[in-house]
């Protein structure tokens, strides 16, 4: 396997009026092509900063980061798909046009692009909603459409920033199963930011644990389950003990 992402002692310092704030410190991380990695940690641990650096929305201030063949921050890479906490669909476009946005920002959407977008929508059960406006869909359906949008231009890296944080627990479970299926179908490299430990363990092959002040990686846990995850898995003792193992990091740092 080859690495898609390689971060070497990556750091980020914000200069504020009251002095410098270290958001990320010495983050060294290697993500293999096709891997699903989850990053967990309490708020303020820099996990969102890490994601924004990977998306080239923010620049790191020290260390080196490589995504694919490009150095992070050097030139803009459009090679990522991003799912935000809110669905962030444009209310003036129908669902199909929303999904096609990453394509239409670069060129005219071809018939093949549209077919590809429709395939994605059908994959998440939204085939019949292509011509609807976002406000006609439920929150879960909107977030499904947002996932399609993040995949439509076939990015090499899928970034998800607490994508289901705003949804109710039941919709969350259903969507987690769906994300697992999409990941198995598309073989996309995925990075999930979450503060839900069970969600991280459920979806990822590897869980990166971060701790705040300054934001740094404190542990990496390989999840021993196979690629296919079902909701029954969440009830097993292995799943529970893995979650407990991760949770202990935060109990210690809180004390």
Partner 1 sequence: MSTTTSTDARTTSATPRTTPRRRRDAGKRRQVVGSLVVLAVLLLAWQFLPTALGTPSYVVPVFSDVLAALTDPAAFPVYLEATVATMTEVLLGLAIGVTLGLVLAITLAQLPTVYGIVFPYIVAIESIPKVAVAPLFVIWFGFGLSSKVVVVVLLAFFPVLVNTLHGLRGVDKDQVDLFRVNGASPMQMRLRLLVPAALPQIFSGLELAVANAMIGAIVAEFVGAQQGLGVLILQAQGRMETPAVFALLIILSALGITLNVLVRLLRRVVVTWEQH
- Shortest reach from residue 194's CB to partner 1, in Å: 17
- Shortest reach from residue 176's CB to partner 1, in Å: 21
Residues 128-167 that bind partner 1 (CB under 8 A): 133-135, 153
Q: Closest CB to partner 1 among 48 and 211? A: 48
Q: Closest CB to partner 1 among 113 and 198? A: 113
**Residue 105 binding partner 1, by CB under 8 A:** yes
CA dihedral 179, 34, 26, 202 (to 10 degrees): 30
Q: Other C-beta atoms within 10 Å of 33: how many?
A: 15
Name the nearest CA neighbour of 24 among 54, 62, 55, 57: 62
Residue 214: is the preceding peptide bond cis (ω within 30°)?
yes
Applying CB under 8 A, among 82, 100, 147, 217 the residue interacting with partner 1 is 82
Residue 128 to residue 130: CA distance in whole angstroms: 6
Q: Residues in contact with partner 1, total (CB under 8 A)?
A: 23
**Residue 225 binding partner 1, by CB under 8 A:** no
Q: Closest CB to partner 1 among 63 and 155? A: 155
**Residue 102 binding partner 1, by CB under 8 A:** yes
3-state helix, strand, coil in the chain (%, to 5): 40, 25, 35
| Residue in this structure with the two tokens 């991760």, named with its chain if needed | 246
**Residue 86 binding partner 1, by CB under 8 A:** yes
Measured in whole angstroms, the distance separating CA 160 from the mean position of its chain's CA atoms is 2
Question: What is the binding site for partner 1 (CB under 8 A)?
Answer: 52, 55-57, 76, 78, 80, 82, 84-86, 88, 90-92, 101-102, 105-106, 133-135, 153
């Amino acid at each position: 396997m080859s690495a898609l992402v390689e971060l070497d002692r990556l750091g980020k310092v914000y200069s504020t009026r009251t002095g410098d704030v270290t958001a990320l410190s010495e983050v060294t991380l290697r993500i293999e092509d096709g891997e699903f990695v989850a990053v967990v940690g309490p708020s303020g641990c820099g996990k969102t900063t890490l994601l924004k650096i990977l998306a080239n929305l923010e620049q790191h201030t020290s260390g080196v980061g490589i995504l694919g063949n490009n150095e992070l921050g050097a030139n803009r890479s459009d090679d990522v798909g991003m799912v935000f906490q809110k669905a962030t669909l444009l209310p003036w476009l129908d669902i199909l046009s929303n999904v096609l946005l990453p394509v239409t920002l670069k060129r005219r959407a071809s018939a093949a692009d549209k077919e590809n977008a429709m395939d994605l929508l059908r994959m998440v059960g939204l085939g019949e909603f292509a011509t609807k406006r976002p406000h006609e869909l439920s929150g879960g359906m909107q977030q499904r459409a947002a996932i399609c949008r993040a995949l439509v231009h076939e990015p090499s890296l899928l970034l998800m920033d607490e994508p289901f944080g705003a949804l109710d627990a039941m919709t969350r479970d259903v969507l987690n199963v769906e994300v697992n299926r999409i990941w198995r179908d598309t073989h996309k490299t995925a990075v999930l930011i979450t503060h839900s430990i069970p969600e991280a363990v459920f979806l990822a092959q590897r869980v990166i644990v971060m701790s705040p002040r300054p934001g740094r990686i404190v542990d990496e846990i390989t999840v021993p389950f196979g690629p296919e995850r079902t909701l029954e898995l969440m009830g097993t003792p292995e799943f529970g003990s893995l979650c407990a193992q991760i949770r202990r990091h935060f109990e210690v740092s809180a004390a």
